[in-house]
Amino acid sequence: MGSNILFQLLVMTTLYAPPDSPILVPPQAIHTIRKIATNMELTCDRESGWRNQYQREIDLEQFKNEVNLYRGRFQELKGVPSVQDVDCFPFTTEQIDQMLSFNRAYLKYVQLNLALWPSTYAARHDWWDDARKETEQLYIIYGLLKGAKVSYYTTYVRRLALKQLVERIGQEAYWNRQLPPCVPLWRFERI
């Protein structure tokens, strides 16, 4: 029992190390590494399961590459919330799809108005151009939220979406679950 815990600690230490540093465990430990990488949300069961099923034997170079892949992911995802954390946002993927559709419909309206106000009418053209940029930024935010919520994406992809979402809206807004609206409501003059 004690040696198993020590071995798992050695595997975790190996994964915490920067890419290309010495690997402290033998290639026979690949299944344990995959299991721990899955628990650390560096990969997912589907990805690890596929590798376990089709790569029963692994040579030293493949082993080094896979360990360095997990090490790189660990470094990249430091401080990124867990995929389960995204469930705290109150929207389903279907609701997010509706918001993204509304965003695209509003963008078409903005682009039509942008075409109607050529750059010779600078103030009006700039107003519509700013509305277009804001609408596109809001689309990216909701696209990242959807990417983090979709269960058929790998854990790694979902956590990358979370990382980018936090970078776009800020730590405070993320932890308070405060998303901006899906379209720039402050641009709506009349309803």
Give yes or no: residues 46 and 109 share one domain.
no
Higher pLDDT, 112 or 48: 112
Task: Determine the Cα angle at 186 with ends 122 and 175, to 5°.
Answer: 130
60 in Cβ contact with 27 (< 8 Å): yes
65 and 90 co-located in one domain: no
Domain match, 70 and 113 both: no
Say yes or no to pLDDT of 55 above 80.
no
Residues 54 and 89 in one domain: no
Domain count, the chain: 2
Residue 59 clears pLDDT 90, i.e. is over it: no
**Paired tokens of 135:** 């609408």
pLDDT of residue 178: 94
9-54 pLDDT, tens digit per residue, is 888 888 888 888 888 888 888 888 888 888 888 877 666 555 555 5
Q: Distance between CA atoms of 40 and 66, rounded to whole angstroms?
A: 15
172 and 142 within one domain: yes
**Does residue 96 share a domain with residue 35?**
no
Q: Do residue 9 and residue 99 come from a single domain?
A: no
Among the candidates 76, 91, 123, a domain finishes at 76
Are residues 48 and 93 both part of a single domain? no
In the predicted model, what is the mean pLDDT of residues 143-164?
93
| 43 and 101 assigned to the same domain | no
Residue 8 is part of which domain span? 2-76
Mutual angle of helices 2-16 and 30-39, in 10-degree steps: 70
Cβ-contact 162, 148 below 8 angstroms? yes
* pLDDT surpassing 50 at residue 1: no
Rounded Cα distance between 131 and 113, Å, is: 10
Do 67 and 106 share a domain, yes or no?
Answer: no
Residue 133 and residue 66 in one domain? no
Mean pLDDT of 104-108: 97
Q: Which one of 57, 76, 95 terminates a domain? A: 76
Q: Are residues 121 and 143 in the same domain?
A: yes
User: Quick check: 102 and 182 in contact, CB under 8 A?
Assistant: yes
Last residue within a domain, chosen from 15, 50, 76: 76
Spatial separation of the C-alpha atoms in residues 19 and 112, rounded to whole Å: 49
